Chains A and B, each alone.
Chain A
Amino acid sequence: QKEVEQDPGPLSVPEGAIVSLNCTYSNSAFQYFMWYRQYSRKGPELLMYTYSSGNKEDGRFTAQVDKSSKYISLFIRDSQPSDSATYLCAMRAYTGNQFYFGTGTSLTVIP
């Protein structure tokens, strides 16, 4: 079983839609949860970083962590064509120095 599971999509939505991206994980030691955005032919860029359970909002983006279900989500409101990218979730434990990534979900926002 992979440490982190993520639906690869692809996901295609009309401009203005609400997008929901999700990851599940198996390691209960994970405490730090990240979402990265990767444009084609580029390296990943950090989008959101959350600790433990709860919600975090940044503009049109909201990250949610449910540690009891080992489930994290990224919501994108009022999606824009510029949001078209691959979104990767990543996690790490409180102790330990390794990062574990999901496979990424490819998102296309159609104008």
Chain B
Amino acid sequence: EAQVTQNPRYLITVTGKKLTVTCSQNMNHEYMSWYRQDPGLGLRQIYYSMNVEVTDKGDVPEGYKVSRKEKRNFPLILESPSPNQTSLYFCASHTVMGGPYNEQFFGPGTRLTVL
């Protein structure tokens, strides 16, 4: 089954404790992306990656890091989480082959609470 998986699905942590949220896709997609979703603000893109070793900032990259060492994986790293990073996080992927009309597949989400 074609899918994007994220782990963990729920995480409660404390300020300053480094954490990583993993994202993996099994569709051989080139493009992967991280979003956060907040009430009243909608989905905002944090980072995206066009392919292995190619990453770029989205709208709200501060406080986050990413890496793309393998095509299928795109982890999101919070080196020193703060309460304002409490949010619902989504990973997404799509292929760039064949033009721009490509569906972006989303993972199930990770609800992060930083105390």
Contact = CB atoms under 8 A, between A and B. Distances in A.
B2 interface: no
A88 interface: yes
A97 B42 contact: no
Give the size category of A's interface with B. 20 to 34
Nearest to A34: B104
Given A42-B108, A44-B106, A97 B43 contact: no
A43 B108 CA distance: 5
Contacts of A90: 43
Contacts of A100: 45, 59
Nearest to A93: B100
Contacts of A94: 100
Contacts of B24: none
B104 A99 contact: yes
Contact of B103 (A42, A43, A49, A98): A49
A98 B90 contact: no
B107 A43 contact: yes
Given A42-B108, A44-B106, A45-B106, A101 B100 contact: no
Given A43-B90, A44-B90, A97-B31, A92 B42 contact: no
Given A43-B90, A44-B106, A99 B45 contact: yes
Contacts, number: 54
A49 B101 contact: yes
30 contacts: A4-B42, A6-B42, A32-B101, A34-B104, A41-B109, A43-B4, A43-B90, A43-B92, A44-B43, A44-B90, A44-B106, A45-B106, A49-B101, A49-B103, A88-B42, A88-B43, A92-B100, A97-B31, A97-B48, A97-B56, A98-B59, A99-B33, A99-B45, A99-B104, A100-B45, A101-B44, A102-B42, A103-B40, A103-B41, A103-B42
Interface of B: 4, 31, 33, 35, 40-45, 48, 50, 56, 58-59, 90, 92, 100-101, 103-104, 106-109
Interface of A: 4, 6, 8, 32, 34, 41-46, 49, 51, 88, 90, 92, 94, 97-104
